[in-house]
Amino acid sequence: MHRRTMLTRAALIACALAAASPAWAGEAYPVRPIRLILPVAPGGGQDTTARAVSQKVMENLGQPIIVDARPGAGGAIAAGIASRAEPDGYTLLNISSTAVTTPLVMDDVPYDVFRDFRAVSQLVSTPYLLIVTPSLPVRSVAELTAYAKANPDKLTYASAGSGSLTHLGVEFLRQQMGVQMVHVPYKGMGPSGPDLMAGRVHLGFWSTVSALPHVKAGRLRALAVTGPKRANNLADLPTVAESGFPGFAVTQWYGVLAPKRVPDAIVARLSQAFASSVTHPEVATHISRDGGEPVGSSPQQFEAHLKSERAKWAKVVKQTGIRNKQ
């Protein structure tokens, strides 16, 4: 009888340990390196920001963060790898705003940020500058609106390609203005520079870090900031919202997702680590230098942001019929 009692107790203890092990694993997390998958090639803003933030996350969590660039297929390659990973918190996906907009303008996109992933934290928000060619006789958003209304279909605007955020963003502004413009797509905003400076195309949304040197040199003219508030390094430049279009905001942003079934405790730990790392003075300085603003949101805040962005751009796409068939 005594032996049977001991065996029964041992079995109960084993069951208790088995039931408790997931919680223990969550509390111990992480115990090995974490892989952060990027959908872009090394060297761009998303890559450099991810690496700067990951360095601090590594210090916070006590484990290496391996940044793994997997560009191509509109982010589908990276998203596919991340969504199929074990939901244990050791594989994450770094995304930009295109993760929300691409499925709206392209057919058969094999991933969905809401179906396949959990929000961890928004890292950065970066506004554009609304810039015009210096030969255009406008110096404010109000003057641009009046000029466009007086010259329907005469104004042209550059974008980084059909369905890109710079395309959707100007279309959003055009709708707010109630004017007509002609879209001129490029393979990135960089190639549009010579045409904008020469007046062969009239306006566009450019990143602050790319546009500012040309604005200071007089080769381009900045009319407004597209974000919800003025840029720290351009305090005298109004926002589009301040310029007669309340609520207008277009920003490029980066964030982190985890596979759908990663436990709450691990998501919370990751969110805290990324949020505190992105707002660290050293990292925040790096981000501000590139024209961005550190965010560091909670999973709930980032999910709300994702839903808000999808709703906004879905409306623009529906009204304009924008598609990207590449």
Q: pLDDT tens digits for 234-255?
A: 889 999 999 999 999 999 999 9
**pLDDT band with cut points at 50, 70 and 90 for residue 300:** very high
Whether a cis peptide bond, with omega within 30° of 0, leads into 39 is no
Residues 6+ apart with CB under 8 A from 137: 143, 147
19 sits in which H/E element: helix 2-28
Distance CA 238, CA 86 (A): 46
Q: Is the pLDDT of residue 133 over 80?
A: yes
pLDDT at position 43:
85
Q: What does the pLDDT average to over 6-13? A: 40
Q: What is the DSSP letter of 239?
A: B
Contact 126, 292 (CB under 8 A): yes
Q: Is the pLDDT of residue 135 over 60?
A: yes
Distance CA 113, CA 309 (A): 12
pLDDT at position 1:
43
Q: What is the pTM of this model?
A: 0.87
Tell me the average pLDDT of the chain.
90
Q: Is the pLDDT of residue 9 over 50?
A: no
pLDDT at position 27:
57
pLDDT at position 17:
33
Read off the pLDDT of residues 26-73 as tens digits, 9 standing for 90 and up. 458 999 999 999 999 998 889 999 999 999 999 999 999 999 999 988
Q: Is the pLDDT of residue 5 over 50?
A: no
pLDDT at position 326:
58
Q: Is the pLDDT of residue 137 over 60?
A: yes
Residues 6+ apart with CB under 8 A from 295: 121, 122, 123, 124, 125, 253, 278
**Identical fold, 31-126+251-320 and 127-225:** yes
Distance CA 170, CA 223 (A): 13
Q: Is the pLDDT of residue 8 over 80?
A: no
Contact 250, 127 (CB under 8 A): yes
- Alpha helices, H only, 106-207: 113-116, 141-150, 165-177, 193-198
- Alpha helices, H only, 29-164: 45-61, 76-83, 98-105, 113-116, 141-150
Residue spans of the domains in the chain: they are 31-126+251-320, 127-225
% of the chain at pLDDT higher than 70: 91
At the fourth CATH level, the homologous superfamily of domain 127-225 is Periplasmic binding protein-like II (3.40.190.10)
Q: What does the pLDDT average to over 184-194? A: 94
Q: What is the DSSP letter of 85?
A: S
Token pair listed for 46: 């998303």
pLDDT at position 324:
80
Contact 50, 71 (CB under 8 A): no
At the fourth CATH level, the homologous superfamily of domain 31-126+251-320 is Bordetella uptake gene, domain 1 (3.40.190.150)
Q: Is the pLDDT of residue 82 over 70?
A: yes
